[in-house]
Structure 1
Amino acid sequence: MGKGDPVSSPHVVMHDPRLNDPEQQIVRTADLAPGELEGVLEVLDAMRAWREAERRTSEASQRYMKLGATDMRALRMLIAAQHQRYAVTPSALAGHLGISTASTTKMLDRLERGGHIVRRPHPDDRRSLVIEVTEETRDAARATVGREHARRFDVIAALSPAHRRIVADFFDAMTATAQRDAV
């Protein structure tokens, strides 16, 4: 191999700026005290592991339910709305998902054919429909996504109020960084 040729590696490090930004053009690490960078990288690695676990869980739920990511997001919203006795129209669902009404109609047709939802007349507006999740799909979602959510709830509930505040502040700050980058 010549200089600059790729090296075979079983593990590529994705978030260490010492490796990926050694000139500190994007990430400034020179101001960190010795050892601080390792702590930052530990948090970044934990976040990466969480995202990967979340991705695997989401994909497993999608395979189990035989649905795509948008379909699953729609079902989660519809299930929550039903629990709260909120009537969801196709246009409200389109707004929640950030997709067109035409795409929503195609998705609802697919979900209805699969036995996941039913369309019913709106209780207050005869010109409109409401979308409801079938009992079978609600039970399947509870067995997969619901159980996972319950485990997360338990982990958070086990934290002290002060630690929950720190974690919530951390996620709020991380969310703000993503919103700044969304252009």
Structure 2
Amino acid sequence: MDPEALPRQDAEPSMMDPRVMDPDQEIVRLAGLDDADIDQVVRVLEALRRWRETERRMSEASRRYMKLGDTDMRALRFLIAMQNHGRVVTPGAIAEHLGITTASTTKLIDRLAAGTTCGAPRTPPTGAASRSRSPRRRGTPRARPSGAATPDGSTPRPA
């Protein structure tokens, strides 16, 4: 690929551009793609990078504001996401999502519930779950950071 064909000649080359990072196409084959196609791919990759960076800053700000550890914050975000989709979350699902043991998950749930971060009401178990010692938990609106996810770390105003 011709180095002169790089997009945005006046700007610094994007680290997401395979023409910059893999000019010999050892990792990414560009056959069948013209420069306009690659430019579009780079724009999407740059947008995803910005999205992820913003998400990381917001999560960090929320974690600091709520005084939670990284794993607790990841669990809380998982609970909120599943609640938004109307799904009931089991301790096993939390353990799988976080890659931790169910014993660690039990401690995590107890920590979140004790800290009133997550009102984790017990729902009556049904079917196979009734034979399990682990009750299902449902995230509640109290679990939401409610504006605490301000990237600049400012204190949110009450709603």
TM-score bucket of the superposed structures, by smaller chain: 0.5 to 0.7
The answer to whether structure 1 residue 143 and structure 2 residue 144 are counterparts is no
- Equivalences, count: 132
The root-mean-square deviation of aligned C-alpha atoms, in Å, is: 3.5
**Where do 1:1-183 residues align within 5 Å?**
13-29=14-30, 31-79=32-80, 80-81=82-83, 84=86, 86=88, 88-117=89-118, 123-124=124-125, 125=130, 127-131=133-137, 137-138=142-143, 140-144=144-148
> Match of 2:38, SS?
helix
Equivalent residue letter for 1:142: S
Unaligned 5+ runs, structure 2: 1-11, 150-159
Q: Distance in 2 between matches of 1:133 and 1:102?
A: 19
Q: Is the 8 A contact 2:13 2:20 kept in 1?
A: no
Q: Is the 8 A contact 2:121 2:137 kept in 1?
A: yes
1:83-123 CA-partner distances (Å, limit 9, x unpaired): 9594x553343244442112212323432443324566653
- The residue aligned with 2:7 is none
- The residue aligned with 2:9 is none
> Match of 2:147, SS?
helix
Percent of residue pairs identical: 52
Q: Is the 8 A contact 1:89 1:129 kept in 2?
A: yes
Q: Is the 8 A contact 2:83 2:139 kept in 1?
A: no
Deviation at 1:82, TM superposition (A): 9.7
Bigger RCO (CA 8 Å, 6+ sep): 2
